[in-house]
Amino acid sequence: MQYELVFKLKKMFNPDNKLTSWILKLSMIRNDMFYVHRSLIDYLDGTKKAASGEFIYFFRLAASHYREAAKYISSGKNKPEIQAFINELSEETIMDYNQIIKSCTPWKSSFVNQIVKPIRDNFFHYDIENFEEDYLELEDIFSRIILTGKSRKEIDLVFADELSINLIFGNKSLHEIKQILSELSSYMSSLISFVDEAVGIFINKNVDKISYTIHVKS
Tens-place pLDDT, residues 5-44:
999 999 999 999 999 999 999 999 999 999 998 888 777 6
The model carries a pTM of 0.85
The pLDDT value recorded for residue 209 is 95
In this structure, is residue 153 part of a structural domain?
A: no
| Nearest of 120, 104, 115, 35 to residue 72 by alpha carbon | 104
In this structure, is residue 159 part of a structural domain?
A: no
Residue 174 has pLDDT above 80, yes or no: no
Three-state DSSP class for residue 172: coil
Across 196-213, average pLDDT? 95
Q: Give dist(CA 123, CA 164) in Å, integer.
A: 9
In this structure, is residue 163 part of a structural domain?
A: no
Report the domain count for the chain.
1
Across 136-160, average pLDDT? 89
Q: Give dist(CA 31, CA 16) in Å, integer.
A: 23
Cβ count near 20 (within 10 Å)? 16
For 60, 76, 142, 178, the CA distances from 181, given in Å and listed in that order, are: 11, 26, 25, 5
108-120 tens-digit pLDDT: 999 999 999 888 8
In this structure, is residue 75 part of a structural domain?
A: yes
Q: Are strands 155-156 and 2-6 parallel, antiparallel or unpaired?
A: unpaired
Cβ burial of 73 (10 Å; 0-12, 13-18, 19+) is buried
Long-range contacts of 102-110 (CB under 8 A, 24+ apart): 103/66, 103/70, 103/187, 104/70, 104/71, 104/74, 105/74
Dihedral sign (CA 194, 100, 58, 124): positive
In this structure, is residue 29 part of a structural domain?
A: yes
Identify the residue with better confidence: 200 or 125: 200
The pLDDT value recorded for residue 49 is 67
Return the bridge partners of 215, or none: 3
- Alpha-helix runs per DSSP H in 104-143: 111, 117-124, 131-137
In this structure, is residue 160 part of a structural domain?
A: no
Q: Are 89 and 198 in contact (CB under 8 A)?
A: yes
Identify the residue with better confidence: 69 or 55: 69
Q: Find all residues with CB under 8 Å of 172, minimum gap 6, and list them.
A: 180
- The rounded percent of the chain whose pLDDT value lies above 70 is 95
Q: Whole domain around residue 88: which residue ranges?
A: 2-143+169-216
Q: CA angle, 50 as apex, 49 and 52 as ends, to 5°?
A: 85
Three-state DSSP class for residue 145: coil
In this structure, is residue 150 part of a structural domain?
A: no
Average pLDDT value for the chain: 89
The pLDDT value recorded for residue 95 is 97
Q: Is residue 46 very low, low, confident or very high in pLDDT (cuts 50, 70, 90)?
A: low
In this structure, is residue 155 part of a structural domain?
A: no
| Nearest of 31, 5, 46, 30 to residue 100 by alpha carbon | 30
